[in-house]
A and B are shown apart, each in its own frame.
Chain A
Amino acid sequence: MQAKLKVSRYDPETMGQGQQRWDEFELDVHPNATVLDALIQIREEVDGTLALRCACRASICGSCGMRVNGDAKLVCKSRIADVGEEGATIVVEPMGNQAVIKDLVVTLDTFFDKVRQVDPYLQPDSEPEQGEYVASDESMVNLLTAMNCIMCGACVSDCTVLEVDEAFIGPAALAKAWRFVEDPRDDQRDARLEELNDVEGGIWDCTRCFKCVEVCPKDVAPMDRIMEMRDMAIEAGNTNTSGYRHTESFNKSVKKHGRLDEARLAVESAGYTNVPRLIDLAEIGVKSVLKGKMPPIVPHKADEKEKITRIFEKVESERGS
Chain B
Amino acid sequence: MKFAFYPGCVARGAGPELFDSAVAVMEKLGIEWVELTGASCTGAGVLQEKDQKLGDILNIRTLAMAEQLGLPVMTICSTCQGVMAQADRRIRRDADYLEEINGYLAEEGLSYSGNTTVKHLLWVLVEDIGVETLKKTFVKELSGVNLAPFYGCYIVRPSDALGFDENPERQTSLETVIEAVGGNVIDFPGKTACCGFPILLINQRNSLRMVANHTGTASELGADAMVTPCPLCHLNLDGYQPKARRQNKRGKADLPIIHLPQLLGLAMGIDSKTLGLGKHLVNTRDIVRKVDSISVAS
Contacts and interface: CB of A to CB of B under 8 A. Distances in A.
Interface string A16-33: 000000000000000000
Nearest to B242: A287
Nearest to B210: A164
Contact of A259 (B13, B51, B61, B196): B13
A176 interface: no
A254 B47 contact: yes
Most chain-B CB neighbours within 10 Å: which of A165, A266, A291, A303?
Answer: A291
Contacts of A211: 153, 157, 193-194
Interface in B182-205: 189, 193-194, 196, 198-199, 201-205
A315 B278 CA distance: 43
Contact of B240 (A205, A250, A284): A284
Interface string B85-121: 0000000000000000000100110000000000000
Contacts of B205: 165
Shortest beta-carbon contacts, A-B, top 5: A210-B157, A304-B38, A269-B201, A164-B209, A209-B194
A291 B206 contact: no
A269 B202 contact: yes
A311 interface: yes
A241 interface: yes
B153 A161 contact: no
Interface string B206-244: 100110010000000000000000000000000110000
Contacts of B57: 311, 315
A288 B50 CA distance: 30
A227 B51 contact: no
A288 B193 contact: no
A126 B159 CA distance: 45
Given A160-B194, A295-B13, A295-B14, 7 more contacts: A209-B157, A209-B198, A210-B154, A250-B43, A261-B13, A302-B37, A315-B57
B41 A259 contact: yes
Contacts of B44: 250, 260
A116 interface: no
B58 A308 contact: yes
Contacts of B254: none
30 contacts: A160-B210, A161-B194, A163-B210, A165-B203, A165-B205, A168-B206, A204-B203, A206-B199, A210-B153, A210-B157, A210-B158, A241-B202, A243-B202, A246-B46, A254-B43, A258-B39, A258-B40, A260-B9, A260-B13, A284-B239, A284-B240, A287-B281, A291-B279, A291-B280, A293-B17, A299-B13, A300-B12, A302-B38, A311-B104, A315-B54
B15 interface: yes
B48 interface: yes
A124 interface: no
Contact of B46 (A168, A241, A242, A247): A247
Interface of B: 9-10, 12-17, 37-41, 43-51, 53-54, 57-58, 61, 104, 107-108, 153-154, 157-159, 189, 193-194, 196, 198-199, 201-206, 209-210, 213, 239-240, 276, 278-281
Chain A interface: which size bin? 35 or more
A227 B54 contact: no
Q: Is the interface of A mostly helix, strand, loop or mixed?
A: helix
A83 to B, nearest CB: 14
B174 to A, nearest CB: 16
Contact of A250 (B47, B154, B157, B193): B47
A214 B46 contact: no
Contacts of A155: none
A160 B61 CA distance: 32
A265 interface: yes
A266 B193 contact: no
Contacts of A231: 49-51
Contacts of A293: 14-17, 276, 279
A300 B13 contact: yes
B58 A311 contact: yes
B112 to A, nearest CB: 14
Contacts of B47: 250-251, 254
